[in-house]
Amino acid sequence: MSLDAQLYPDKIDISNCELEPIHIIGKSQSHGVILACSSQKMEITQCSENTLEVFSLPHEDLKGEPLSVLIGEEQETKLKNGFLKGEALLPEEIKIKGKSFLMLSHILEAQLLLDFEPLENQYDPVTFQRQLTRILNNLRSAGTVEGLCREAAALTWDFFDYHRIMVYRFDKEWNGEVVAEEKEEEAESWLGLRYPASDIPAQSRELFLKNRVRIIADVNDNPVPITPQLSPVTGQPLDLSESGLRGVSPIHIEYLQNMGVGASLTAAIVVNGKLWGLITCHHNSAKFLNYYQRESFRFLAQMFSNEIALRETNSFLEKTSISEEIREKLVVQINNKKPLLETLTSKVKFTDLVACGGGALFFNGELLLQGNTPSEAEVNSLIDVYLSKIKKGVFYTSKLSEDFPEAETYKKTASGILSIRISENNFIIWFRPEVLQTVEWGGNPEKKMSYNEEKQRLSPRKSFEKWSQLLTGTSREWENHDLNVVKALQENVRFVILEKQRNKIKNLNARLMKANEELELFSYGLSHDLRAPIRGISGYLKILQEDFGKKLGEGKQFVDTTLGLTEKMDLLIDDILSYSRLNSGEIQKNNFSVNLLVAEILEVFNVKMNYPKASIRVQDDMPEAFGDRRMLFQLWANLINNALKYSSANEEPQVEIGAVRKEDKIVYFVKDNGIGIAPGFQEKIFETFTRLAGEKFKGSGIGLAIVKLVTEKHEGEIWVESEPGNGAIFYFYI
């Protein structure tokens, strides 16, 4: 035995039936034979132990034999070829020991799973055709979903002769409700009754998706074991999901017996890939329906599923288009300049968007209630304690108080909520009132099981007496079209908020730029206007100094100082002017020679006259630069001027100018052996009016600010390396 083989457990009762692996039950219903063979050798590997009763051949004799022993060479070849070509394997009529059977084949990877059903009534194409036509016509012309359900029940009743037909619809929690019924007159009606989800557990729902028609021919039958239990091919139990003869779970048998059912037939209604409901037929005694009749039933269920899907889609589209219209109007409103809370509650209100009793808007701590809602304090607490903890963008429930007990006090107005999160702590909420509902259960759903003395185990409930329950704290359910339209609104509001923020920033930026421009103009104008009177003052002072110097006596000293101050002021104004000109000027880039530019500057400075002690070394093949020559002239001039100025106190001032390659950039430098700059100030010196050198060196504190501005305008960088007393190197690239 393979170690990891999952086996059907020995003991199954109602307490563990949710885990019951019904697809590997390992048994066949006794009216037919389940047989497995290896698809490679076509050799019989497993079969149900009733072959003697059904085929008049002992099962021990069949195992290990070629399949042809049973079905003949011709059928075997047909099956093998079909399998090899990957074709759909059709049902085949087979004669074994003079009796007719229908063989239904399914492929299971390396195995073939074969069902042999007795074929008593021959296939009658005329009846079959008539049934299909009636199904098509009647289902198509049924108007509403309710009408469709009634029609499906009526057709099933007519065609297949069972004692009771029910159309059963699942809710979101998989409880089922009987929505249409056909029955014998004297039988009690089960219409409108509900059955708890545990009556049809998850794994049977799963199987219904795979194999949509299920027949239980005799509830009181003894299912026959399939042996050996594990497949010699795979080492695993045989997967019977596809088999129409699969044995029935003992729990389900007991459930049907408790209901007094002798046979059943069920088809799955699958809408958009999801189990929507079932059509279930009950018979008081054993009843078998052959394959062709079951195919009619399958067709009926398929048509019914299609018609339901069509109606649901149409109703969805209809509802969506109504709410879409309202949303569009809301979007026009919220694009308005007014505050968001106001735009969502003016002519068209956010509460018009989905069917609701009222709603709440919560933006930036401000709460606005609309229509029937819990109190402000209650809504605030709902947001604070509950909604803000839920990380979903869209959240909804139709039983709020179940998860948030505080809501019990206001369940009349808000048993249902639908909420969208606009941003971290901003919400739009819709409330739905409580809808009191009396639900009729087919038996008390709380009493799912009872202890069965005779079988010594827990059994499914015996009582299916009508059991009424008043449902409280529940609202109408939120539907898909509700969710879709609020999701779309969420996008819209988020977009509008972003757009409004973007506009705000844009406006602020424009105002800042304007203020900056005005300030520049102002400082330029001011400096410009100051210049004429200063020049006047300095002219008069010079006349005083030259022509009346002697008469002034000691006062001459004051005239000299004042003249010095006016010169300083003139220099300052010059620098401020060039700084503001730079700031407002457009940049015009060209290629130019840096060597020529430096030579020009040195000439302007008249270095030999002004700094006779200084020795200047200029690297003679500096790479050309690409930039605004006028601006870069100012940059170089300021750096060279500083180097000469701050080294002039040295015995042998040395200034070196050149370029180096650093990473992929050409970095120019100006080096001196002057007073140097303390580490803490090496960034600060680039700000306007920062001066460290004191009165000993003339200056305005603007030069390096100009240098920095020029590098920035050229998307470059400037920095200094220096030790106090040991000179400085200014590096920059553009």
C-alpha span between 389 and 395 (Å, rounded) = 11
C-alpha span between 67 and 38 (Å, rounded) = 9
CB of 588 to ligand ADP, least distance (A): 25
Which residue, 103 or 643, has its beta carbon nearer to ligand ADP? 643
CB of 655 to ligand ADP, least distance (A): 9
CB of 425 to ligand ADP, least distance (A): 49
CB of 677 to ligand ADP, least distance (A): 5
CB of 534 to ligand ADP, least distance (A): 18
Residues 6+ apart with CB under 8 A from 264: 214, 215, 216, 219, 256, 280, 281, 282, 283
CB of 692 to ligand ADP, least distance (A): 3
Stretch 669-728 residues interacting with ligand ADP (CB under 6 A): 672, 674-677, 685, 690-693, 699-705, 728
Site string for ligand ADP, 275-304 (x = CB under 6 A): ------------------------------
Q: Which of 276, 260, 356 is nearest to 311 (CA)?
A: 276
Which residue, 162 or 646, has its beta carbon nearer to ligand ADP? 646
Which residue, 372 or 682, has its beta carbon nearer to ligand ADP? 682
- Contacts made by residues 534-540, CB under 8 angstroms, sequence distance 24+: 534/566, 534/569, 534/570, 534/573, 535/570, 537/566, 538/563, 538/566, 538/567, 538/570
Stretch 595-654 residues interacting with ligand ADP (CB under 6 A): 638, 642-643, 646
Give 43's DSSP letter.
B
Region near ligand ADP per CB under 6 A, out of 335-343, 355-363, 365-373, 667-675: 667-675
Q: Which two tokens stand for residue 386?
A: 């509950």
CB of 723 to ligand ADP, least distance (A): 11
Local structure of 707: helix, strand or coil: helix
Give 46's DSSP letter.
E
The separation between the first and the last C-alpha atoms of the chain, rounded to the nearest angstrom, is: 79
Which residue, 104 or 702, has its beta carbon nearer to ligand ADP? 702
Q: Which two tokens stand for residue 333?
A: 């409103």
C-alpha span between 518 and 524 (Å, rounded) = 10
Which residue, 406 or 721, has its beta carbon nearer to ligand ADP? 721
CB of 725 to ligand ADP, least distance (A): 10
C-alpha span between 724 and 129 (Å, rounded) = 107
Which residue, 165 or 702, has its beta carbon nearer to ligand ADP? 702
CB of 622 to ligand ADP, least distance (A): 19
- 199 touches ligand ADP by CB under 6 A: no
Stretch 323-342 residues interacting with ligand ADP (CB under 6 A): none
Which residue, 99 or 691, has its beta carbon nearer to ligand ADP? 691
CB 481 within 8 A of CB 316: yes
CB 442 within 8 A of CB 464: yes
CB of 515 to ligand ADP, least distance (A): 25
CB of 727 to ligand ADP, least distance (A): 7
Q: Which of 181, 170, 194, 236 is nearest to 36 (CA)?
A: 236
CB of 512 to ligand ADP, least distance (A): 26
C-alpha span between 261 and 281 (Å, rounded) = 10
Which residue, 258 or 688, has its beta carbon nearer to ligand ADP? 688
Q: Which residues pair with 43 in a beta bridge?
A: 66
Report the 10 Å Cβ neighbour count for 562.
15
CB 95 within 8 A of CB 55: no
CB of 689 to ligand ADP, least distance (A): 8
Which residue, 9 or 725, has its beta carbon nearer to ligand ADP? 725
Which residue, 412 or 691, has its beta carbon nearer to ligand ADP? 691
Which residue, 253 or 616, has its beta carbon nearer to ligand ADP? 616
Which residue, 24 or 704, has its beta carbon nearer to ligand ADP? 704
Q: Which residues pair with 93 in a beta bridge?
A: 102
CB 36 within 8 A of CB 238: yes
CB 237 within 8 A of CB 230: yes
Cα 44 vs. chain centroid, distance in angstroms?
51
C-alpha span between 238 and 112 (Å, rounded) = 10
CB of 589 to ligand ADP, least distance (A): 25
Q: If you compute the radius of gyration of the chain from its CA atoms, what whole number of angstroms results?
A: 47
Region near ligand ADP per CB under 6 A, out of 12-20, 214-222, 324-332, 668-676: 668-676
Query: SS3 for 508-524, per residue?
Result: HHHHHHHHHHHHHHHHH
Q: Which of 258, 203, 282, 262 is nearest to 25 (CA)?
A: 203
Which residue, 301 or 635, has its beta carbon nearer to ligand ADP? 635
CB of 643 to ligand ADP, least distance (A): 5
CB of 568 to ligand ADP, least distance (A): 11
Q: Which residues pair with 468 in a beta bridge?
A: 440
Which residue, 44 or 728, has its beta carbon nearer to ligand ADP? 728
- Phi and psi torsions of 590, nearest 5°: -150, 165
Packing angle of the helix pair 291-334, 145-160 (nearest 10 deg): 180
Dihedral class, residue 456 (left if φ above 0, else alpha if ψ from -120 to 50, else beta): left
Which residue, 442 or 703, has its beta carbon nearer to ligand ADP? 703
Which residue, 443 or 676, has its beta carbon nearer to ligand ADP? 676
CB of 666 to ligand ADP, least distance (A): 21
CB of 686 to ligand ADP, least distance (A): 7
Supply the DSSP string of 474-532, one letter for each residue: --PPP-HHHHHHHHHHHHHHHHHHHHHHHHHHHHHHHHHHHHHHHHHHHHHHHHHHHHH
The Cα diameter of the chain in Å comes to 154
Query: SS3 for 673-694, per residue?
Result: CCCCCCHHHCCHHHCCCCCCCH
Residues 6+ apart with CB under 8 A from 512: none
Q: Which two tokens stand for residue 32?
A: 């037919």
Please identify the residue of the shown chain whose CB is closest to the bound ligand ADP: 699
Which residue, 107 or 692, has its beta carbon nearer to ligand ADP? 692
Which residue, 529 or 723, has its beta carbon nearer to ligand ADP? 723
Packing angle of the helix pair 556-584, 480-552 (nearest 10 deg): 150
C-alpha span between 7 and 21 (Å, rounded) = 8
Number of residues that bind ligand ADP (CB under 6 A): 22
The footprint of ligand ADP (CB under 6 A) covers 638, 642-643, 646, 672, 674-677, 685, 690-693, 699-705, 728
